[in-house]
């Protein structure tokens, strides 16, 4: 058994990623085995949590993963760890499902992180509401961005005795993780990423929360779950080339594990580093930030030709989100500059100034459904007729938002949709197999 804590907040932007990473880094430095998860679909926060904990990080979402998958991943992690840190998403009760739903389902104690920079006595009322709204399991509360010792004392005095004062962190830009559109800056892009985490861990070490060892936390009893069956090895002997660098960085480790369980071999290549397309049976162009590297990608006319030849030989390509953008004829970046990209998909990817789509989706085909999510600021202007559309999992403002188009052009399949391969390994295999989806 291990200690488990879910780090949540009343809203986004309160500092829960910084605290979750600081907690993981602090205990890992002390020699504990720390595993971490992110509540809800996310590619950026898990990179920071992986750097802090030293282990790959999976998302936990009761709809996308399903309760059984979430339970199995938590149980496996707890079996070999001293501490499991789960970072929440948005506010504690935001979303369907929410971080609170996950905490209640599996009995995960909640550590609330509250930006207290502009409050005093209201802190206690807010914490009381977070805890009692649905009576979630409770681990305490940490005040963030606090002005000094007197401010911290006022915050602590506002709490009921049993609400678990875990300490306060100062308002310090040195322990704040940098952001840009889509979320945090990727950890791998910052040379001082680990130093930032160490600074946050050092600050946390001075608090009552930081003084606890993993053994001081209540030990979590994992649910009893049946081991998932291995999928049929539908990709046995197939070699899949996966683009991976700063432009194509949105890859769930669990998606790679699913491909391996299906029998595939994966090999990585970096378009930004000038790598040629490896010898392969299929290609995966994941999401990422092609709009930040459009000039370098545009110069890869050699790779564009190699991909075109690959598709002409009826070998599959699956391009998701940023991968779709790279395959467009042109990409218009945030400054309005037009870049001629790889041209396998007719049309233009245009970066917008706000979120274009966000939420969980399912792709129904082949007698089943592949679950995942959509999150992008760009739009794709094209005359291509989609083969399929995803189905949003929930309404927004009483209306069902539009689904994401899935385009097919020969052996090429592309969409804004980010699938979670483990939700249906058999359908995931279809993305990397010859033939259409319908």
Residue 155's SS3 state is: helix
- Secondary structure class of 233 (helix, strand, coil): coil
Closest CA to 114 of 85, 140, 135, 138: 140
Contacts with 42 (C-beta within 8 Å, 6 or more apart), sequence order = 59, 89, 183
Where in 248-387 does DSSP place strands (E)?
A: 265-269, 282-285, 317-320, 328-332, 338-340, 345-351, 357-365, 368-376, 378-381
Picking from 170, 222, 155, the residue whose alpha carbon sits closest to that of residue 200 is 170
Tell me which residues are annotated as active site. Answer: 321
Q: Is 66 within 8 Å of 58 (Cβ atoms)?
A: no
Q: Could you give the CA distance from residue 42 to residue 38 in angstroms, rounded to a whole number?
A: 7
- What are the residues facing 345 on neighbouring strands? 328
CB 136 within 8 A of CB 104: yes
Phi, psi of 402 (to 5 degrees): -65, 150
Q: In Å, what is the CA distance from 226 to each residue of 73, 135, 371?
A: 11, 29, 21
Burial class (CB in 10 A: 0-12, 13-18, 19+), 238: buried
Q: Using an 8 Å Cβ cutoff, are 51 and 189 in contact?
A: no
Residue 399 has what DSSP assignment?
B
User: Is 62 in contact with 106 (CB distance < 8 Å)?
Assistant: no
Alpha helices in 45-192 (DSSP H): 45-53, 67-79, 99-106, 122-132, 149-157
List all residues 6 or more positions away from 335 whose beta carbon is below 8 Å from its beta carbon.
Answer: none
Alpha helices in 329-424 (DSSP H): none
**Both structure tokens of 405:** 């188009």
Q: 286: helix, coil or strand?
A: coil
């Amino acid at each position: 058994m291990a200690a488990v804590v879910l780090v949540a907040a009343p809203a986004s932007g309160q500092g829960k990623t910084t605290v979750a990473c600081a907690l993981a880094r602090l205990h890992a430095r002390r020699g504990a085995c720390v595993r971490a998860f992110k509540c809800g679909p996310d590619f950026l926060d898990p990179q920071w949590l992986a750097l802090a904990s030293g282990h790959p990080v999976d998302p936990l979402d009761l709809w996308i993963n399903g309760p059984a998958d979430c339970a199995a991943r938590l149980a496996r992690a707890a079996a070999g760890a001293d501490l499991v840190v789960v970072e929440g998403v948005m506010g504690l009760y935001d979303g369907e499902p929410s971080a609170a739903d996950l905490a209640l389902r599996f009995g995960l104690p909640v550590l609330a992180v509250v930006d207290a920079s502009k409050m005093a006595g209201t802190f206690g009322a807010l914490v009381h509401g977070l805890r009692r709204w649905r009576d979630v399991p409770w681990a305490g509360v940490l005040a963030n961005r606090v002005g000094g010792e007197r401010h911290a004392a006022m915050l602590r005095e506002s709490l009921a005795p049993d609400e678990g004062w875990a300490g306060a962190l100062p308002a310090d830009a040195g322990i704040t993780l940098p952001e840009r559109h889509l979320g945090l800056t990727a950890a791998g892009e910052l040379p001082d990423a680990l130093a930032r985490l160490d600074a946050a861990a050092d600050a946390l070490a001075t608090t009552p929360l930081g003084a606890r060892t993993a053994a001081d936390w209540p030990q979590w009893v994992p649910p009893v779950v049946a081991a998932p069956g291995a999928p049929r090895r539908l990709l046995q002997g197939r070699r899949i080339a996966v683009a991976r660098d700063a432009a194509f960085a949105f890859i769930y480790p669990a998606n790679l594990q699913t491909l391996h369980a299906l029998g595939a071999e994966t090999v990585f290549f970096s378009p930004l580093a000038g790598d040629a397309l490896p010898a392969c049976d299929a290609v995966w162009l994941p999401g990422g930030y092609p709009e930040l590297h459009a000039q370098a990608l545009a110069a890869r006319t050699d790779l564009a030709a190699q991909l075109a030849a690959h598709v002409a030989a009826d070998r599959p390509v699956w391009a998701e989100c940023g991968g779709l953008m790279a395959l467009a004829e042109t990409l218009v970046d945030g400054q309005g500059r037009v870049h001629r990209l790889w041209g396998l998909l007719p049309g233009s990817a245009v970066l917008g100034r706000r979120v274009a789509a966000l939420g969980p989706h399912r792709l129904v085909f082949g007698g089943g459904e592949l679950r995942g999510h959509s999150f992008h600021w760009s739009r794709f202007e094209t005359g291509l007729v989609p083969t399929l559309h995803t189905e949003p999992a929930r309404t927004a403002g009483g209306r069902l938002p539009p689904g994401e188009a899935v385009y097919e052009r020969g052996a090429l399949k592309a969409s804004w949709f980010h699938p979670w391969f483990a939700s249906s390994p058999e359908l995931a295999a279809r993305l990397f197999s010859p033939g259409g989806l319908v």
